[in-house]
Chains A and B, each alone.
Chain A
Amino acid sequence: MRKHIRYIAVAVAAASMVGFSGCAGEGADGENVSVTLLTADPQENLQPAIDGFEAANPGITVEYEYVPFDQYNNLIEQRVGSGDAGVDVYAADSGAIGSLASKGYLVDLSEFSDEVAAGSLPATLDANTYDGKLWSVPMWTSMQYLYYNKDILDAAGIPYPSSNLDEAITYQELLEAGKQAQAAGATWGVLFDQINRYYQLQALIESAGGGSGATGEDLLTPAINNDGWVSAMNFYSQLFEEGVAPRGVATEQMPVLFSTGEAAFIVSGPWQATTNANEGAIKYGVAANPVFEGGTPAMSTGSWNLGINPATDQMEASKKLVEYLSLTKEGNALSTSVLGISPTNVAAFDDFVAGLDDRDAPHTAGLGELTKVQLSSIAVNRPNSPGFTQMGDVTGRAFDDIRNGQPVQGTLDSAQAELQGLWDRLK
């Protein structure tokens, strides 16, 4: 009797495991081919584009997998890096192209170079190039603006900043205006959307003449403690030291702080307008990116691009998918329709710009023109260094330290040393 119980227990245990092995793979029978698309966006964001693609390509189905953003790079490393054929097409972040390509995680897509040069926004060709070859095709891009809370500015008697690029406010003037706003009752003066990330602060640093931080022919010689970096970071440190921007508040809270009327200014992307609209609490306007005093204007740009996993067994279908999503007006426009982010296909972009002014009327009046001008003249791409991930990590921690009051030169110097050590391992 007791033996039976034991056998039954073991059998149940075994059965409960075996019985639940699901099917992991997609079938690729003669008629229907399946391509897996992996991105850091929820499926609903790309569903219209997927539907459009499947309608235009009967015989190809798109399987979608979503990975939370903060684990995305990690997961690409694990799956593409282990030669997992279960991933065919995946989203590649701007700045990461060099790193992905040098590790062999991307298929050479130079055959699309001419199409990209002809049909996509100018900055996007460079953004997807590494070592003279095209490794991915652009899908989305981003831009930044200076948002300002009209009520707060009115109460403090501050003139609205200009949306004319030639009259852009300087960062230094912005700091002063922020202080004035706080004196008149605003909680915070100046915010940045991704307040401690390289993507956001690259514009500030480049404007101060610091360059991107990655130099050398192989883009593996760090330069993150030169004069430009130091000046930019001195300003950054000042923001927090003087209480104009908050310490200890997570990046994710920044948009909400502005949309609920707690801050006078924020440098953020078009998505800020959506957040503001959802909250519906403030009167605001949109102006040109600030410029560093005595420096050249610069604006952060770039977003997700599409690459193909070399381990894919659906090369033809994958190429069709990336071509549709990036290089056709219909596909590219559909891919941005849910998120409202900027497409990279020129024709789709023109439509996008035309609709910008109505994004959150009347606050977003003039947004379209401003976008066109900024994108064509002051956009700076993240450098496609093979060590970009390391740079993002090291500088991110340096920014946090400076934000929390650590001395600027010392922090940048030790970040430089740390990055040098990490990049030496890559050479």
Chain B
Amino acid sequence: MTLLARKGAQGASHKLAPRGRSRSLWPIALIFLAPTLILLFVLRVIPAGEAVMSSFQNSPSRLIAPEWVGLENFAVLFGSADFYQVLGVTGIFIVTIVPFQIAAAVFIALLLNERFPGLGLVRTFVFLPVAAPAAVATVIWGIAFQPRGPINAILEAAGIPSQPFLTSPSQALFSIIILMSWIGIGYWTLFLVAGLQDIPEELYEAATLDGAGWWQCFWSITLPNLRRTLAFVVVANTVSSLIAFVPVAILTRGGPADSTRLIMFDTYNNTFVLGDVHLGSAEVTVLILILITVTAIQFRLLGKEK
């Protein structure tokens, strides 16, 4: 189902011309927005506010009312060498996984936009890992990566020495990235396929008549018209990668040698395993700041409109 955009899909989006004074549109807009806004406020904003506030407090036990300690929790965080390790690992992780997943998702979306026998089946195959329970998928990949597991079995049959994968500080993070990509790429591919199908045929017709080949069309028509979808996919992918921790929690617990100690895992570990709620809140606050910064940069780079 493609849509014809008469103005060209690049379309700046004009809001519909207001009828009457623009003030009179507020109540209507509010009715549309109210349920979501109220729910988001109660279910996200308020608890988030509590979490941020709790990062400025401390108490020896949950049952004892916390007192304000200012930036003490942050001082503890930034005073420990472990936290810089966490930030470093998270940085490497993000600059690797996001471009990798986006490039792979775009490539696969392009493939899925073609016609070939079994298209529907392949599409289902690609998306299905998203639907499998993450903990089970993690366990399966954990077994796959074992020193005496299927992947090494294949490698050895091909004459390649067996790899340590999750047991080596130099390979563990990348193994986690593969695992998480397997789980997530189908998700982004879905949106990119929809985005590809929204691009009007006429643009390609004109270019084909001009003699442009596929590669040229890709850079001059496809990518620019995917911009809105890409903006969404890149931001959402970054956010979801930064807040994922199940594979680390189950398989490596941050190791070996802290090489997979991602910030969300460390936060989860501090809050839920070690029970240090306030330190965990401080870490979450730092994480949220990182998320906001990265998202803002991405919006700026990727979109003319926000």
Contact = CB atoms under 8 A, between A and B. Distances in A.
A249 interface: yes
Contacts of B142: 250
Interface in A241-280: 246-250
B245 interface: no
Contacts, number: 89
A396 B274 contact: no
A105 to B, nearest CB: 7
Given A83-B63, A248-B145, A248-B166, A77 B272 contact: yes
Interface string A95-108: 00000001111000
B62 A81 contact: yes
Interface string A381-408: 0000000011001001100110111100
B60 interface: yes
Interface residues of B, number: 36
Contacts of A405: 167-168, 256
Contacts of B143: 250
Contacts of B169: 404, 406
B80 interface: yes
Nearest to B146: A248
Contacts of A406: 169, 256-257
Contacts of B63: 81, 83, 103-105, 310
Main secondary structure of the interface of B (DSSP, over half): loop
Interface residues of A, number: 35
A121 to B, nearest CB: 29
Contacts of A82: 62
A59 interface: no
A247 B166 CA distance: 10
B276 A397 contact: no
Contacts of A13: 35
Interface in B242-273: 252-257, 269, 272-273
Given A81-B61, A103-B61, A248-B147, A404 B167 contact: yes
B98 to A, nearest CB: 27
B270 to A, nearest CB: 9
Contact of A397 (B76, B139, B255, B272): B255
A10 B142 CA distance: 45
Contacts of A426: 60
A94 B249 CA distance: 23
A105 B62 CA distance: 9
Tell me which of B60, B76, B145, B169 has the highest count of chain A C-beta atoms within 10 A of its own C-beta: B60
Interface in B166-213: 166-169
Given A248-B149, A400-B252, A422-B276, 15 more contacts: A73-B273, A74-B273, A74-B275, A77-B272, A248-B146, A248-B147, A248-B166, A397-B253, A397-B254, A400-B255, A401-B256, A404-B167, A404-B256, A405-B168, A425-B279
Interface of A: 10, 13, 73-74, 77, 81-83, 102-105, 246-250, 310, 389-390, 393, 396-397, 400-401, 403-406, 411, 418, 421-422, 425-426
11 contacts: A73-B273, A81-B62, A247-B164, A250-B139, A397-B253, A400-B253, A401-B257, A418-B82, A421-B76, A422-B274, A425-B76
